[in-house]
Amino acid sequence: MSNEIITEVDEKAKAARDAASVLATAGSRKDAALEAIVAELEARAEDIFAANARDVAAAREKGLPENMIDRLTITRKRLDAMKQGVAEVRALPDPVGKVIDGWQRPNGLRITKVRVPIGVIGIIFESRPNVTVDAAALTIKSGNATVLRGGSESINSNIALTKALQAGLAKAGLPPAAVSLIETTDREAARRMMTLNGVIDCLIPRGGASLIQTVVKTATIPVIETGTGNCHVYVDRAADPSKAAAIVVNAKTQRTSVCNAAEGLLVHKDAAASLLPVIGEQLREKGVEIRADKATRALLPWALEATEQDWYTEYNALIMSVAVVDSVAQAIAHINKYGTHHSDAIITEDYAAAEKFVAGVDSAAVYVNASTRFTDGFEFGLGAEIGISNQKMHARGPMGLEELTTYKFIVRGDGQVRE
């Protein structure tokens, strides 16, 4: 690892550490900073679009797939969505200082459990520039400093966005170092971040399975693991046909490159003959390639044969694995075995089947008669999200402001000593 990489990462992380102490007690200045950031994003829009155009052109020259280019592109609509996300986070209640619990001991000690910022949060992510703005808004509002390391494909976009973020912080009298971007695109910079114990308090990786596992296996500091999304829709024997078709097509095709898009479809054997041809044809019209088991291929002869690996795969593309199952229990077992515990749905009018599915599927978000595409901070009313966690620690599902805080105990006494 070169000295230049070590110097950049270490200096920015240490500056973030100093900034975190200011953010922790910034109060209403955090909202002022977020308001200023919205204005700066608009004022610098042309610079942001120009920087993004350079990234997109370079990505096309490298031959990156269209789903990756889609994630990379900043349109006017997406920039407006970033601004709206910042504004929505600003409007949310400040979690810092919130009393979680409180009680008094027999000896008179009064104890309160209070939310406080984590400190410095490192975020390592792939080439989705909106993450830069989402992460900054949430960390600022929750009183944390952040060190960002995005994918090399979005470096120009991220630099332009970070300038807007830092300008907004400065206008509110807060240290610009509260949001820092590692500008070197060498992967060793990310590895350096993963071992800065005592400087960075935790890491959040956002991206594909390879990135996430690299961070989990390499980091010597705590990691909040955001999950890959091998999500499923199960169409039960008691499904409403119109709901089933609409939900499956939306979950698969509304946007294929995101972690909450459905990758697997399971259909009860009693509904397969009537529903699979209809759903299959609608998926086919949308350009979806079906990889299926024998029972499905008997009803959809144009479908390809699925391999064992297909059941495990997050495609992020117009591909879907499809299987016929004998029961709700078999659907649950399939999802828990092959899925990634992210978002899974049942389509049914049978209350008992729905409750069995909800109780049995071990995922961060479980749906009844709705598309998996709603697993999202905005859609859940949390504002922008830092990521979607499918682990089982303190943060699970869309991670909003409260998931970016920890707590401390405040103990008030009147001279008590322990005997």
CATH architecture entry for 3-226+399-412: 3-Layer(aba) Sandwich (3.40)
Ranges of residues in the chain with a pLDDT under 70 are: 1, 227, 383-384
CATH architecture entry for 231-374: 3-Layer(aba) Sandwich (3.40)
Q: Phi/psi at 411 (nearest 5 deg)?
A: -115, 120
User: Residue 172's pLDDT is what?
Assistant: 97
User: Residue 226's pLDDT is what?
Assistant: 77
Reduced to 3 DSSP states, what percent helix, strand and coil does the chain have, rounded to the nearest 5? 45, 20, 35
Locate the domains of the chain by residue range.
3-226+399-412, 231-374
- In order of 64, 210, 260, 358, 382, the CA distances from 367 in angstroms are 33, 27, 12, 7, 18
- Which helix (H) or strand (E) segment holds residue 7: the answer is helix 3-23
- CA proximity to 12, closest of 220, 173, 166: 166
Is the separation of the CB atoms in 235 and 347 below 8 Å?
Answer: yes
Quick: pLDDT tens for 266-320: 999 999 999 999 999 999 999 999 999 999 999 999 999 999 999 999 998 999 9
Q: Phi/psi at 267 (nearest 5 deg)?
A: -130, 130
User: Residue 377's pLDDT is what?
Assistant: 74
User: Residue 1's pLDDT is what?
Assistant: 64
Please list the alpha-helical segments (H only) found in 286-327.
294-299, 308-312
Q: Interior CA angle at 408 toward 131 and 120, to 5°?
A: 30
Residue whose tokens read 């900043």: 74
- CA proximity to 283, closest of 245, 255, 315: 245
